[in-house]
Every structure is written in structure tokens, then in C-alpha cells.
Amino acid sequence: MPPLRFYNTLTQEVQPFEPLEGNVVKMYTCGPTVYDFAHIGNFRTFVFYDVLRRWLRASGYVLDHVMNITDVDDKIIRNAVAQGKTLNEYTDAYTKAFLDDCATLRLERAEHIARATDHIDEMAAAIRKLEAAGYTYTSDGSIYFRIAKFPEYGKLSHNDFTGMVAGARVDVDEYEKSDARDFALWKAPKPGEPNWETEIGPGRPGWHIECSVMAIQYLGATLDLHAGGVDLIFPHHENEIAQSECLTGKQFARFWVHSEFLLVEGQKMSKSLGNFYTLRDLFEKGFTAESIRYLLASVPYRKGLNFTLEGLTSAKTAIERVRNFKFRLDSAKLPEGENPEIAQHGARAIAEFRAAMDDDLNTAEALGAVFEFLRDANSALDAGDFLAGNLETAQSLLALFDLVFDVLKYAEKTDDASTEEVEQLIAARTAAKKARDFTLADGIRNELLGKGVVLEDTRDGVRWKRK
């Protein structure tokens, strides 16, 4: 049995995961709706996708991953119209900002980034097919999916929709559970709104059909894994299943994996509370992308995450601990031999890290294994008991850590330090060491490393070079 397992929202069980065919994982993740800058709650989900991708690859799989960009929906049209912009003028800027933010957070790119408006004809063709099979009806120029024709409706959200009023309709893209009604596949043109001329007439797609059509177009009828935030389970993913399974007659996705909500300082994020953070807001407060990435990745995706500024500060400290340890390993002159206790602990930490990640991506437990080893290894280094033969295992653990968390390398700085600045910082560090303020000394050394300057302590004083 494969060791890797995920909680599947569809079956409500933790299940061993394997792709259907060979070692290629066909995966679809719901991307952003580009109507504004993405906020930290959105990025929790995107960091989860990234951790998922990285661990699937670490498990030996090859990814065929599609993420959509929703660049037409109710909110976008409302905002674009209000600002007197075309749809493209409005969405291009936010699409670019989103992709830049993802790169800053070191999120791996999906193999396919699919923009909804590039696939309108395929959506119209799919709606025509649903129409021909009797799953739809038309009212005032809009086309609705008749959910009474799909008896399995509700199987993902585990809602019982019996007794629902047949023929009741909902036109908006987002709605509550209690509003489970026939939803719009295609919306009739309205004055002042963008619309497309297609084989099913003029109009624009509803949000849900976008994902079904692009997923099937790139990956085929059955996906190995579909992921998103829990807020998408209903109605979005429920509707995706209904449309897709009625289109192909096959199961749409074998695994449905959902990340939990994020709170900020214990409260629901909202603009009025002033706890609504974009990455830009957090950079302005002096936090780094590495700290944000680490904090978001460190809480297992199925646990609610309370995002606090204090948490970001702790994340920074945690990253520095690992960086400092790595620096010690890279620079120490170790005595020959191998310390068997450290060797055993290193091997155990690697095994524990893997086991935790295999267990539904338990990142918190994986980190626990790393820090426990660091404590031990740092003490051994202090005591001179960490030997040359222990280096490889320790480096392997760090490599495994960074494969998932990817926070050890410093963000590229454009402001290369001048020689004068380097000499000043080295003098400050030497003074800090003399005053036995090793935290400050380490901090300065790391700051220099961040500027691409490597220090080496020798008997004749400090030597430095640019990386």
C-alpha cells in the first residue's frame, strides 16, 4: 500500500493515494478570481497547493496540474463596469500581480495556467452537449443546469437536498447552501456587460462551468485529485461535479482535498476590522516572503489557521534557527568519525518527517522532527561531539525540510552591500561577540549572508567573500 494518504472530502475518510495511471498525477486546483489583490486567506490555499505539489513530487510522482484564472465573473464585471474599464484592462493587472505574488512566495507554477476567457468556445460547446442530453433549460436567454436530473447532487458537501423546489433558479455565482437551486451555466447578455457571441448565442459563462470545462480539456474526464479551499465545496465543487459527470458519464475527481479557513488575530478577515492583509501590506510592515510562506505552510492544511503578526515573528525566528544551523554545518571544521547517537537521531528525524508528510501533509509534525534534531545536533556541535560522519545525514534532513518549506535561501536583494558597509557590519558583529551577544552576532552574519556575503572566522580574524 502506498504510504501517502489524504483526507478525501468525497468519502469523508483518510485514504491511500495513488494516481489512476502510471506515476502521473492529474490535478486541478481552483485558482484566483482576479478582481482584486489576493489576500493572506487566499494565499493559505495557494501555499497548501504548493506543499501538496512538492510532496507529490517528493513521493516520486510527475505532476500534470491545471490551475485556472477566473477572469470573468459577477464581481469582476461589477468592478470593471464601475471603473469604466474593459474586462481585460481590469483583470490583466490583477493577474500579473497574482503571478508575481506567487513567485515571491516561491510557489511552484502549475503545468497549465488556464484563463477562463481563453476557453469561452469550449464552454459553449460543453453547454450545448448538456443541453442535448436534457440536463438544461433556458429562461430569459440564460441557460440553467437542472439539478433534479443529477440524483447524486450533494454527494461532495454531504447535503441532503431532497424536498428542494424543482425549477427554482439562482443567477449569482456564489450562494449559500440553503439556496441550492438550478444554477446558471450561461448568462444572458445585459446592457453594459461584456458578452461573447457563441454557438449557443450571446452571453457569458457562469463561474462553475469554467472549471469543469478547463479541467476536462487539459486532463481528461477523470482527475486524480481536485483541490480548493473549504469555502468552495458548496456550491462551486458540487456544481463542478454535476456538470462534469453529466458531460462525460465518468467520475470527475477521485480525491477532493480542501484546506481550512484562515483567521487573522482570531477574527474573520475583513476590511472594516483592518485585519485584511495582502502581501504588500505585510511587506510594508517589514515581514519577509519567507516568514509568510513558513507560517502558512507550518499549520496542517485541514486545521484552521490563526494568522497573527506575532506568528510571523516566530516564523522568522524559526527560519533563522534552521539557517544558523545550516551555516554551522557549512562552516564548521568537524573532527573525524561519526557520533552514533546523532547518526541515529538524524535518520529517525528523516523518517519521521516523511511519515508526517505522508500522513495527510502533517507539516507541524514534520517540523517537530526537524527542530528536535536541531536541538540535539546544536548541543553536540557546542560540545564538539558532532563529527564529520554526521554531516551527510544532517544535510539530507535540511534538504528534505527545504524541499517542502523552501525558506532557507534569502530573497534576492537588489541592494548589494558596498565594501564599506560589509566592513562596518563585520566590526559590529565582532563587537557583539566580544560582548557575548551571540544572537546579535548571528543576526548580523545572517544579514550579510542575505546580501550575498559569506563570513569565515579564522585564527587571524574574520575573512569574507561575496557569493
Residue placing its CB nearer to Zn ion in the complex, 211 or 262: 211
User: Which span (12-20, 30-38, 243-251, 361-369) binds Zn ion, by CB under 5 A?
Assistant: 30-38
190, three cell numbers: 445585459
Among 4, 10, 30, 242, binds Zn ion (CB under 5 A): 30
- Rounded to whole angstroms, the Cα distance separating 116 from 26 reads 19
CB of 214 to Zn ion, least distance (A): 9
Residue placing its CB nearer to Zn ion in the complex, 5 or 236: 236
CB of 153 to Zn ion, least distance (A): 17
Contacts of 434 (CB under 8 A, 6+ apart): none
Instruction: State the number of binding residues for Zn ion (CB under 5 A).
Output: 2
Residue placing its CB nearer to Zn ion in the complex, 30 or 77: 30
CB of 312 to Zn ion, least distance (A): 29
Residue placing its CB nearer to Zn ion in the complex, 227 or 417: 227
- Rounded to whole angstroms, the Cα distance separating 23 from 364 reads 27
CB contact at 8 A, 253 and 105: no
- 253 near Zn ion (CB under 5 A): no
- Rounded to whole angstroms, the Cα distance separating 171 from 143 reads 10
CB of 350 to Zn ion, least distance (A): 36
What distance separates the 2 farthest-apart alpha carbons in the chain? 85
User: Which span (28-36, 93-101, 319-327, 412-420) binds Zn ion, by CB under 5 A?
Assistant: 28-36
User: Which span (22-30, 53-61, 306-314, 334-342) binds Zn ion, by CB under 5 A?
Assistant: 22-30
CB of 195 to Zn ion, least distance (A): 22
Provide the phi-psi class of 337: left if phi over 0, else alpha when psi is between -120 and 50, else beta.
left
285, three cell numbers: 510592515
Distances (CA, A) of 142 to 70, 190, 237, 309: 20, 11, 21, 46
- 215 near Zn ion (CB under 5 A): no
- 241 near Zn ion (CB under 5 A): no
CB of 36 to Zn ion, least distance (A): 18
Q: Which residues pair with 263 in a beta bridge?
A: 306
Query: Comparing C-alpha atoms, which of 343, 416, 404, 411 is closest to residue 373?
Result: 343
Q: Which of residues 185-214 bind Zn ion (CB under 5 A)?
A: 211
Phi, psi angles (nearest 5°) of residue 89: -55, -40
CA dihedral 286, 35, 44, 269 (to 10 degrees): 70
- 114 near Zn ion (CB under 5 A): no
CB of 228 to Zn ion, least distance (A): 6
Contacts of 407 (CB under 8 A, 6+ apart): 290, 291, 293, 294, 319, 322
**What is the SS3 assignment for 410?**
coil
Q: Which of residues 269-328 bind Zn ion (CB under 5 A)?
A: none
CB of 223 to Zn ion, least distance (A): 12
- Rounded to whole angstroms, the Cα distance separating 66 from 354 reads 26
User: Which span (25-33, 73-81, 304-312, 324-332) binds Zn ion, by CB under 5 A?
Assistant: 25-33
CB of 126 to Zn ion, least distance (A): 14
Phi, psi angles (nearest 5°) of residue 132: -65, -30
- Rounded to whole angstroms, the Cα distance separating 2 from 112 reads 27
Q: Which of residues 130-149 bind Zn ion (CB under 5 A)?
A: none
User: Which span (26-34, 55-63, 332-340, 377-385) binds Zn ion, by CB under 5 A?
Assistant: 26-34
Q: Which residues bind Zn ion (CB under 5 A)?
A: 30, 211
